[in-house]
Amino acid sequence: MGLSLSWDGYFLNLEMRTHVMGILNVTPDSFADGGRYLEAEKAVEHGIEMANQGADIIDVGGESTRPYSKKISANEEMDRVLPVIEALSRETSIPISIDTYKSEVAREAINCGAAMVNDISALRFDPHMAHVVSQAGVPVVLMHMQGTPETMQVKPSYKDLIGEILDFLQQAVDRSAEAGIREDLVIVDPGIGFGKSFDDNLKIIKELSRFESLGRPILLGTSNKAFIGHILEKEVYERGTGTMATVACGVLNGAHMVRVHDVAKTVETVKIVDAIKKGRAG
């Protein structure tokens, strides 16, 4: 089975090149850009800017899932994201993803123009999410996380890091199939920073090719995360170079999609790495 995504007028050829998912946090408290795009107008402007910079997908989120973050209501989340998604779906031609684990938010976001769901819980937190995704016929990202955003960084531990994540993601893929979600629309994400130690994150990137055994596209999200700051002794806003290093390593080791804050630099980075992988430019 090929690893391209084709649905409802969209086609992402993941076998041809690495795709870039731009992060658009419509939140006051996200770790890297909290509050910067909380106003809908600013969020839409930034989304259009990312599309113009070469983003293949824009991932819109209304609830921070940084370590120790608190939950918000579905209504509050929808108040933040729905106007942005509705505007971006009119202003851009690329797919808009909704970053949520709540089925109600996903359903209304799809009604407003979202064409993909990015669920950090891999369909576990809301029993109705799988049905919403299945009925909509859109791609879904299934991410590994140990615990919840509130607890995931309280001494995460594994006996077999890669093996346990692989088992978790295989179960998530099986769960999505049982719910009627098309297998060719499922994307897997090992969940960098979600219930992982600093060394765990490095090991996942180093051994990312092992996740190819799942037979699904691999999404890698390392952008500006704490392990980069730990290595470089840099604050969140100073982690751009470190992020590009992790993107390059991730793509070399098998990532099909990367989720980032800085789209422009990432588009250039993956073009170079893709060219090296293919042994030719263009």
pTM here? 0.95
Whether 282 maps to a domain, the answer reads: no
Catalytic residue among 107, 225, 265, 271: 225
Domain range holding 159? 5-277
Whether 250 maps to a domain, the answer reads: yes
- What is the number of domains present in the chain? 1
Catalytic residue among 124, 216, 239, 259: 259
Q: What is the pLDDT of residues 190-221, one digit of tens each?
A: 999 999 999 999 999 999 999 999 999 999 99
- The CATH number covering residue 243 comes to 3.20.20.20
Task: Dig out the tokens for 220 from the structure.
Answer: 């890698």
Task: Dig out the tokens for 37 from the structure.
Answer: 């795009």
Could you confirm whether 159 is annotated as catalytic?
no
For 198-266, give the DSSP string. HHHHHHHHHTGGGGGGG-S-BEE--TT-HHHHHHHT--GGG-HHHHHHHHHHHHHTT-SEEEES-HHHH
Give the least confident one: 19-28, 68-77, 165-174, 176-185.
68-77
Whether 47 maps to a domain, the answer reads: yes
Whether 101 maps to a domain, the answer reads: yes
Could you confirm whether 259 is annotated as catalytic?
yes
Q: Per-residue confidence at 249, pLDDT binned at 50, 70, 90?
A: very high
* Locus of tokens 């939950």: 71
Percent of the chain at pLDDT exceeding 70: 96
